[in-house]
Amino acid sequence: MTFQQDSRSLCAALAAGFTLALACTFSFAQDAATPAAAPATAAVATAVNTVGELATVPAPALTARAWMTLDVNSGQVIAAQNLDESVEPASLTKLMAAYVVFDAIENNRLALDQKVPVSEKAWKTEGSRMFIKVNSQVSVDELLQGVIVQSGNDATVALAEAVAGSEDAFVTLMNEEAARQGLHDTHFENSSGLPGPTHLTTVRDLGTLAQNLVTRFPQYLHYYSQKEFTYNKIKQNNRNRLLWADPTVDGLKTGHTQSAGYCLVTTALRDGRRVVSVIVGAASDAARTENSLKLLNWSFQNFDTIKLYDNEKPAVTARVWEGEVENVGLGSSTPTWVTVPRDKGDQIKPVAQYTQPLIAPLKAGTKVGKVTLSLDGRVLREDPLYVLADVPEAGFFSRIYDKVLLLFQ
């Protein structure tokens, strides 16, 4: 073959390859936006409402209007009754009041050593009291102890006025924060928990609020485990009796009105695992305490919470095309925990679905699919899949090579 013939053959091959690459590029412009189809199955797995549905040991029989138990690490509801029924929160309202105050402190709008003037309205607020005096100056730190340890309505109103100027404006902040947290069935009329026709919530929302509070503000959790506080020479004990009964309990808040009954949101930390229980509408202080302890013990003894994935351990390693590397991890930058009945962690079945093909450049944090976690044929949860590392685009010839290879996939 002559040099001229070799040149013609080479030109023809390059032209064909270029045409092929263009066709491939056009094809993937359509395919890249299409999520990977789920594999065909004989039956569609149904999702569990609570992890307890898969347990062999049933939840304890409780005497309360509504209740739930939640694993804070995984965010999963372990068991519940009347989870979304409207209930009165009573002084459990102060969980949200404290959350808004903590947020103000963290954003330098308030300081723990700041002195707050006590208005006549705060001083006159009915219900449980810290016994602050009108026109006196009380520190934010003392007022927080009055709110959390003593459940003082007067202290709550004083803090509300310090943060927002008035209690009404503070309640607006509380409702805005409830909306941000997705507490769709919660509405507050006041900061302290006094009864009102639309002052309502659910145990689901209370559990979510408690989870968010202990997760975002662990630096203030010591207030909730404080057993007593003395102010104005008046000593009052924390009404959460579990602080004395169980050393693993470190919060959170009691509540009681005649219409709401006896309520308690409790949290305990055992071996690095945190659980929250919510009891609403119990008949007595003793009943809410006993019910809460039963729920906590059952939740810890019969369930495990295990870490499946994190930034170092992806949920799946996926093929990348036209990139400087061939594979990238997909998962979550934060740890993925899952709660299952005891000793069933090794039976979890993950199924990943993500956009295919993955074509560079890819940016870390881009959502590309989801992973479904199942146990015993039931869906425990679904989590988004994110790209865990940047993947730059490869050079021109490497990209052409991958385009050709993709034709045969």
Angle among Cα 341, 372, 204 to the nearest 5 degrees reads 60
Q: Which amino acid is at 155?
A: A
Give the residue among 325, 79, 100, 18 at the shortest CA–CA distance from 204. Answer: 79
The encoded tokens of residue 366 equal: 């881009």
SS3 244: helix
Per the CB < 8 A criterion, the answer to whether 201 and 212 are in contact is: no
Q: How far is the C-alpha of 368 from the C-alpha of 391, rounded, in Å?
A: 14
Q: How far is the C-alpha of 326 from the C-alpha of 391, rounded, in Å?
A: 9
Name the burial class of residue 251, with classes exposed (0-12), middle (13-18) and buried (19+) by CB atoms within 10 angstroms of its CB: buried
Q: How far is the C-alpha of 65 from the C-alpha of 351, rounded, in Å?
A: 38
CA dist 342 → 48, 51, 237 (Å): 16, 11, 37
Per the CB < 8 A criterion, the answer to whether 335 and 310 are in contact is: yes
Q: Which residues are catalytic?
A: 91, 94, 151
